[in-house]
Structure 1
Amino acid sequence: MSTGGVMLVAVQHTGGARGDGLTGAEAKVAQWMRTWTGDFGLPGVTVFNAVTSTGMADALVLSPYGCVVIEIDGFTRRQDGALHAPADGAWQVDGQPAALHSQNPLDLCSANVKAVRETLRAAGITTGTVPGLVVLLPTPGARVHLADGAETDGVVVVLAPHQKPLRQYFHTLCRSQKVWDANTVAAAARALKLTEHVPNVLELYQHGIPETIYSPQDAQEPAPPPKPAPAPPTPVAVAPRRGGTTRLVLVIALGLLVLVGLAWLVGTVYDVFHGPTEVP
């Protein structure tokens, strides 16, 4: 699976004879990550010895998939059998204390996961999750395997006698949804005080971190066209009401007609009874 990016590796706190402050299992994991290019590349930045509000994380990985908090430990001697890794209590291999530098690396990783989550939340970065990863390196030739239940609160335990199991974890991560663009990665680096070791936005983009994050479900459906306004009702012609003046004129005209009719009738009756008498 090609991710189209290169894993950048930096160390926040350096020192010691090696010059980078990394020894043992941490140095081995850093060496592996520096070779992850091409088909094995992961676009992102890994900062080793990164300080958190509760202590120091062995490594923080900032990528388009969020921030992964890593705790790295190695067996101090060969042990074979089933590794029981409870969230609380000391780890054991077949009933014997696990020959690790820490009694419970899961507990250390969980504390740093919570610290990183709180720091990012306080900076307003709420997208994505902050998973934790415990990487254990057995001694060469050891036959040790994880018992059931070696996971809690989003923290996964990976046994890595070689780099393939660790690389597989990040390849699985790369199949998840991208949640951070270059600006968000840079903002996370500022919140976690890693800016000295994380490139600027342009360089992050050039190393395979997307410029923007687009999610199809974020696209809003276009609003439906507005419905045409209903046509105004056709006005109905209403006969104008006759005013008082018109009514008065009609009454007067009717009265005159009545008077004329009466005068005619009286004249006619008079002529009938009082007309001139014919002389023989």
Structure 2
Amino acid sequence: MLLLINNPSSLSPAEERLAEWITWSPAQPGVALLNIQVPDRGSSRQLDALIWSPQRCVAVEVKGFRTRQDGALVVPPNGPWLMDDGRTADIYGNDDTHDPTSQVRDSTMAAKHWVEKATGLRSLIHGLVLVMLLPDQDVPSLDAPQRPPKTDIIIEDFDVFRYYFHRISHEEPAWTSTRIARVVDSLGLAHLYGGHPDALAAALGETTGPNRTSIRHELVPLHRLSRRTLAGNGRAQGLDPPVEHAVPLGRVQAGTAAELIAEQRLHRHGLVQCGHHQLDRLAGRRCSPGLRAHLARVVVQPVHHLSE
């Protein structure tokens, strides 16, 4: 994934974490444009990120906690987000007049209007709220039964963030490098990719030209993940990862203790009613029938809420 950052010095710590995650997935096809202003109704609106995969364009709101609060995060249909003890979640941009749900909805609409104006094509823009945690903070679950359509919420988890895009990689591409270039150029940011369309084409895995490099749609295997990366998979960076975070599912073997790790991770990821192909993609390889049956047994209620 190609990372393009406008004015890097103004990124928040949570946004810096997102930028770092993107650099950990160089083989995942896509383009991530961070920290931009999008024209909106005679003014402009700040977007934390626009991320394209070949199949989807996503407007991302990155939110971080100001103070440590443990417990489940509750997202009501209206108003500020709460912790399960009834306190208002101490998240930036979350109070009686603002909340992450309304912010991502407004950002998605602003992005949609500008993208359609820049490209001359009708566009579907998804919304994503990415909640980053403080060191040692424990938010084990998310209660968000009612969300705007095409809007997802992920509590800090690098693996779920990768899976958010990887799970749709089998779908027909909807975005090309030419179409994305029109959006980036319309914002005056062509210099971020050097004005070279092949840079965007390579990031998307397009192979229409003789000098373009294909990028495989794959998850990063265990041997390419640093200790720092593994620590980042959990709740806070710089800490030794808990055991359930230490082994990506691509290395799970049926009939071993690693099945317990897979079970813990699936409980945390909250992937429900996965089909065979989804389980295969989650594991990062083709599952054996025995492992697939085990993974299917341990899928439970959602922790992270991902739309179709």
TM range (shorter): 0.5 to 0.7
Provide the rounded CA distance (Å) in 2 between the counterparts of 1:193 and 1:43: 23
Give 3-state SS (helix, strand or coil) of 1:139's partner.
Answer: coil
1:36 corresponds to 2:31: no
- Do the aligned partners of residues 100 and 57 (structure 1) sit closer, same or farther apart at CA in structure 2, a change above 3 Å counting? same
How far is 1:169 from its partner? 1.1
How far is 1:179 from its partner? 0.6
Whether the 8 Å contact between 1:63 and 1:185 is mirrored in structure 2 is: no
| Alignment partner, residue 6 of structure 2 | 12
Work out which of the residue numbers 8, 20, 23 in structure 1 matches 2:12: 23
1:148 corresponds to 2:144: yes
Structure with higher Rg: it is 1
The one-letter code sitting in structure 1 at the alignment partner of 2:162 is R
How far is 1:211 from its partner? 5.6
Work out which of the residue numbers 90, 106, 111 in structure 2 matches 1:99: 90
| Alignment partner, residue 53 of structure 1 | 39
The one-letter code sitting in structure 2 at the alignment partner of 1:96 is R
| Alignment partner, residue 69 of structure 2 | 79
| Alignment partner, residue 123 of structure 1 | 118
- Do the aligned partners of residues 182 and 209 (structure 1) sit closer, same or farther apart at CA in structure 2, a change above 3 Å counting? farther
The one-letter code sitting in structure 2 at the alignment partner of 1:108 is Q
How far is 1:167 from its partner? 1.5
Provide the rounded CA distance (Å) in 1 between the counterparts of 2:74 and 2:120: 35
Provide the rounded CA distance (Å) in 2 between the counterparts of 1:66 and 1:127: 13
- Do the aligned partners of residues 155 and 193 (structure 1) sit closer, same or farther apart at CA in structure 2, a change above 3 Å counting? farther
How far is 1:28 from its partner? 1.0
| Alignment partner, residue 64 of structure 1 | 54
Give 3-state SS (helix, strand or coil) of 2:190's partner.
Answer: coil
Give 3-state SS (helix, strand or coil) of 1:207's partner.
Answer: helix
Q: Deviations over 1:55-93 (max 9, x none)?
A: 111111133223211110111222222212235311100
| Alignment partner, residue 273 of structure 1 | none
What TM-score do you get using the length of structure 1 for normalisation?
A: 0.64
How far is 1:185 from its partner? 1.7
- Do the aligned partners of residues 88 and 126 (structure 1) sit closer, same or farther apart at CA in structure 2, a change above 3 Å counting? farther
Give 3-state SS (helix, strand or coil) of 1:131's partner.
Answer: strand
Provide the rounded CA distance (Å) in 2 between the counterparts of 1:123 and 1:159: 32
5+ residue gaps, structure 1, are 1-6, 15-19, 213-280
Provide the rounded CA distance (Å) in 1 between the counterparts of 2:109 and 2:50: 13
How far is 1:128 from its partner? 4.9
5+ residue gaps, structure 2, are 209-308
The one-letter code sitting in structure 2 at the alignment partner of 1:164 is D
The one-letter code sitting in structure 2 at the alignment partner of 1:43 is P
How far is 1:180 from its partner? 1.5
| Alignment partner, residue 181 of structure 2 | 186
Give 3-state SS (helix, strand or coil) of 1:166's partner.
Answer: helix
Provide the rounded CA distance (Å) in 2 between the counterparts of 1:24 and 1:13: 14
1:166 corresponds to 2:161: yes
Instruction: Report how many aligned residue pairs link the two structures.
Output: 197
What TM-score do you get using the length of structure 2 for normalisation?
A: 0.58
